[in-house]
């Protein structure tokens, strides 16, 4: 699985003008299941992310985790993280898991992240979403498992 973590002071997801997920300080997590991924990949990613020290401590250094800060996570499925841009001008997405597998792994990722003690809000798998965020830092980190 691939993910992009964005440290945010706030973020929300809207569908057709209605907010379906919203957080204050924490992480916006864009996540994509790849061909060949299984539940173990989702669990490994969801277990690692809350422990990453990407939040400022009292000295202003990135030394605190999501668990340390009590921040929340807004998890949004994003199959475009599987984009292959190596040829031509149109990205290919064949490296992404098929939708039914992708949705299962997305939900498993969310469940595992929640089980780590993180407050989790979500987008809607496969929906056309408007994602609003205030990137704090900015801090944007790619991660794979």
In a domain, 136, yes or no: no
112 noted as active-site residue? no
In a domain, 138, yes or no: no
Q: What pLDDT digit, counting tens, does each position of 28-52 carry?
A: 999 999 999 999 999 999 999 999 9
In a domain, 105, yes or no: yes
In a domain, 81, yes or no: yes
The confidence score (pLDDT) of residue 109 equals: 98
* Catalytic pick among 22, 35, 47, 80: 80
78 noted as active-site residue? yes
Nearest CA to 34 out of 95, 88, 93 is that of: 95
For 42-67, what is the mean pLDDT? 97
Looking at the chain, how many residues does it have?
Answer: 145
Which strand (E) or helix (H) includes residue 132? strand 130-144
* Catalytic pick among 6, 55, 79, 109: 79
Q: pLDDT band for position 86 (50/70/90)? A: very high
CATH, residue 34:
3.50.80.10
Which strand (E) or helix (H) includes residue 73? strand 72-77
In a domain, 141, yes or no: no
The confidence score (pLDDT) of residue 59 equals: 96
Whole-model pTM: value is 0.96
* Catalytic pick among 6, 78, 112, 121: 78
109 noted as active-site residue? no
Averaged pLDDT score across all residues of the chain: 97
Total of domains in the chain? 1
At residue 92, the 3 state secondary structure works out as strand
Domain containing residue 72: 2-131
- Would the pLDDT of 145 be above 90? no
In a domain, 142, yes or no: no
Q: What percent of the chain has pLDDT over 90?
A: 99
């Amino acid at each position: 699985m691939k993910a992009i973590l964005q440290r945010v002071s706030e973020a929300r997801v809207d569908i057709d003008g209605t907010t379906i997920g919203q957080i204050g300080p924490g992480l916006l997590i864009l996540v994509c299941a790849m061909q060949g991924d299984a539940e173990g990949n989702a669990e490994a990613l969801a277990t690692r992310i809350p422990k990453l020290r990407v939040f400022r401590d009292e000295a202003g250094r990135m030394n605190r985790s999501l668990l340390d800060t009590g921040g929340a996570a807004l998890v949004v499925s994003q199959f475009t993280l599987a984009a292959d841009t190596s040829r031509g001008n149109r990205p290919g997405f064949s490296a992404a898991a098929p939708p039914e597998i992708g949705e299962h792994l997305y939900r498993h990722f969310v469940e595992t992240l929640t089980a780590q003690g993180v407050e989790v809000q979500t987008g809607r798998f496969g929906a056309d979403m408007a994602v609003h965020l205030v990137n704090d830092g900015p801090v944007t980190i790619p991660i794979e498992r």
